[in-house]
Amino acid sequence: MSEIERHEYDVVVIGAGGAGLRAAIEAHALGAKTAIVCKSLLGKAHTVMAEGGIAAALGNVWPEDNWQVHFRDTMRGGKLLNNWRMAQLHAQEAPDRVLELEEWGALFDRTKDGLILQRDFGGHRYARLAHVGDRTGLEMIRTLQNTAVAKDIDVFMECTLRHLLTDGERVSGAIGYWRQSGKLITFSAKAVVLATGGVGKAWRVTSNSWEYTGDGIAMAIEAGADLIDMEMTQFHPTGMVWPPSVRGLLVTEGVRGDGGTLRNKSGERFMFRYIPEFFRADTADTEKEADAWYEDKRNNRRTPDLLPRDEVARAINSEVKAGRGTEHGGVFLDIATRRPAEYIRRRLPSMYHQFKELADVDITKQQMEIGPTLHYIMGGIRVDPDTEATTVPGLYAAGEVAAGMHGANRLGGNSLSDLLVFGRRAGEAAAAYSKRAGAPKIDEAQLAAFGQGLEAPFQKGGDENPYAIHSELQDTMQELVGIIRRRDELEEALVRLERLRARAARARVTGSRVYNPGWHLALDLDNLIGVSEAVTRSALVREESRGGHTREDFPKTDAEWGTKNVVIRKRDGHLVLATEPIAKVPAELRALLGDDKPTGEAATGTKTPVAAGDD
């Protein structure tokens, strides 16, 4: 192994999106010597792409809103698989976290009274999302970035950490490489916070950027941490479908929040045919009521266009399979006929720009063509709800990489608030741990072995193109572990993943170590394939349909499965799966949720066209 650059910190935060930045700000404020390490330039993490808003029951638009209603919406949206304590903390603390951003300079859109304006989103009973047009993520990441810079927190940009180091049971640091120079770098750390996001790049059609390769999930399981709910993947209902260059690119739920509606190719507002029993009491069943709800929430129920994302994505999938989709395999999203052009341009400027520039579509005059796109993973690293501690001492996780908060399906807007609430808590707990824990010992043999592994692709003289392997992985997950799943297809996926793993071991890397994306991808493939396997194995175990996991062979939602998490851990180099009971909701919170449980059959779609109204 070549020489390695060494650093020593109390707390190392891996990832500089919303969760990582918020964690680092907190750890630093509590006196811990803190580093932020991120794969991209500062300010480019995936949070920057978030569009619609931050869910927080501020009550600025609807005074009836409060944390209890937000808690209820989150739990029901998650099909009651959520960790109740996380959902409670999130609903209670989100307003303070949003107001804190304002103290740091963020400028949200305003109500007429000068307070933070809130917008409607799927699954939220009241207009609840603090936002800045449709570029809320940019405002959030820049505010956090500027705050971190002003506090002079050390940032290691374009630096990929690839393995966690361990000292017995506990975490002791991490090793990786500088993307620019290709040189190895290691951190000794008393505590590590993982804030690395998800694994969307394992799918073909995704709203995620290249960074989403499952690094944190892979590193955590390698270090001995538990994963839960890995089968719970979110397909956002509205991604762009045409032209091919932009397939998967996100179209904010804010389009529907601001009045847009879904239509099939005959112009029918088909969502009225897909209202599940669990949401029937809260959902309008006529177009008249649905349209009136935007203005008057007291006397009308919510439009089915704004059912939780899993429901809408499945409905779109069914419409397309039934032959009622558009030319390019999507459905229509129409705001042009429903809102004035000026309103659309003001509320949705980046959607207007994105369609105009990339698809030659003027959304103030034409319908958008949209379809589901892999957007988020609800599953991830199991954490303690109050401290975000993983099952490995000294290791914390916050944001998309952690699991529990969103259960089987995440509501739109609950991600940005999740990053802030649990980022802060993780930073606080990691700083506290670093104060009571002694300095960790670096296991030089482990460090050397990891270092050699990182350099190995240059020496092996492989014969496989890493880009081709990645592309086949994306096809495999898209076709076999997509929105609708079946036992035989999942088993086939496992066979293919094994083959891809063998090929990835022979990835060919050429050129120097300086900024070499082929090498970076060759190293990322292990994480992508490993995490894909965890998703697929979990999906095989859960024999029911719930939230982001739909089984064609088990289309019913099963009350018994509603009490269990699928847990994955690595023992002796192999994934071991188990089911474990989820924490019981205490009585006083259970009363907020209602007595009913998610039931019924998920729309899995049919390949033979059916008459409208049949399903």
Partner 1 sequence: MTDVQVWVWRGDASGGDFMPYKVAADEGMVVLDVVHRIQAENAPDLAVRWNCKAGKCGSCSAEINGHPKLMCMTRMNEFPAGEHITISPVKTFPVVKDLVTDVSFNYEKAKTIPPFKPKPKDSDGKRRMYQEDIDRVQEFHKCIECFLCQDVCHVIRDHDENKQSFSGPRFFVRLAALEMHPLDTNERIDLIRAKHGLGFCNITKCCTEVCPEDIHITDNAIIPLKERVVSAHYDPIAWALRRMRGKKDEFVPPEPKPPSA
Among 289, 515, 589, 594, binds partner 1 (CB under 8 A): 515
Nearer to partner 1 among residue 211 and residue 226 (C-beta): 211
The yes-or-no answer on residue 569 being catalytic is: no
- Closest distance between partner 1 and the C-beta of residue 154, in Å? 12
Helix (H) or strand (E) holding 160: strand 159-167
Residue 270 near residue 324, CB atoms below 8 Å: yes
Among 1, 150, 576, 591, binds partner 1 (CB under 8 A): 150
Nearer to partner 1 among residue 328 and residue 487 (C-beta): 328
Only one of the segments 350-358, 396-404, 486-494, 566-574 lies at the binding site for partner 1 (rule: CB under 8 A); that segment is 350-358
Residue 430 near residue 401, CB atoms below 8 Å: no
**Nearby residues of 334 by Cβ (< 8 Å), 6 or more positions away:** 260, 261, 262, 263, 367, 368
Catalytic option among 135, 162, 170, 236: 236
Asked if 563 interacts with partner 1 (CB under 8 A), we say no
Asked if 29 interacts with partner 1 (CB under 8 A), we say no
Residue 87 near residue 72, CB atoms below 8 Å: no
CA atoms within 13 A on the CB side of 177: 25
Phi, psi of 374 (to 5 degrees): -65, 125
**Nearby residues of 502 by Cβ (< 8 Å), 6 or more positions away:** none
Asked if 59 interacts with partner 1 (CB under 8 A), we say no
Among 250, 306, 416, 603, binds partner 1 (CB under 8 A): 250
Q: How many CB atoms lie within 10 A of CB 342?
A: 9
Nearer to partner 1 among residue 94 and residue 359 (C-beta): 359
Asked if 340 interacts with partner 1 (CB under 8 A), we say no
**Nearby residues of 572 by Cβ (< 8 Å), 6 or more positions away:** none
H helix and E strand count, the chain: 17, 18
Among 36, 61, 132, 336, binds partner 1 (CB under 8 A): 132
- Closest distance between partner 1 and the C-beta of residue 514, in Å? 5
The yes-or-no answer on residue 247 being catalytic is: no
Asked if 36 interacts with partner 1 (CB under 8 A), we say no
How far apart (Å, rounded) are the C-alpha atoms in residues 16 and 453? 25
Task: Please name which of 363, 308, 335 lies closest in space to residue 74, comparing C-alpha atoms.
Answer: 308
Separation of CA 420 from chain center: 14
- Closest distance between partner 1 and the C-beta of residue 513, in Å? 10
Asked if 135 interacts with partner 1 (CB under 8 A), we say yes
Among 267, 517, 586, 609, binds partner 1 (CB under 8 A): 517
- Report the DSSP pairing between strands 159-167 and 170-178: antiparallel
Catalytic option among 46, 204, 256, 375: 256
Asked if 35 interacts with partner 1 (CB under 8 A), we say no
How far apart (Å, rounded) are the C-alpha atoms in residues 112 and 343? 16
What is the set of active-site residues?
Answer: 236, 256
Give the footprint of partner 1 on this chain (CB under 8 A): 40-46, 48-49, 99, 102-105, 107, 109-110, 113-115, 132-133, 135, 137-139, 142, 146-147, 149-150, 152, 155, 157, 180, 209-211, 242-246, 249-250, 350, 353-354, 357-359, 465-468, 471, 508-512, 514-519, 521
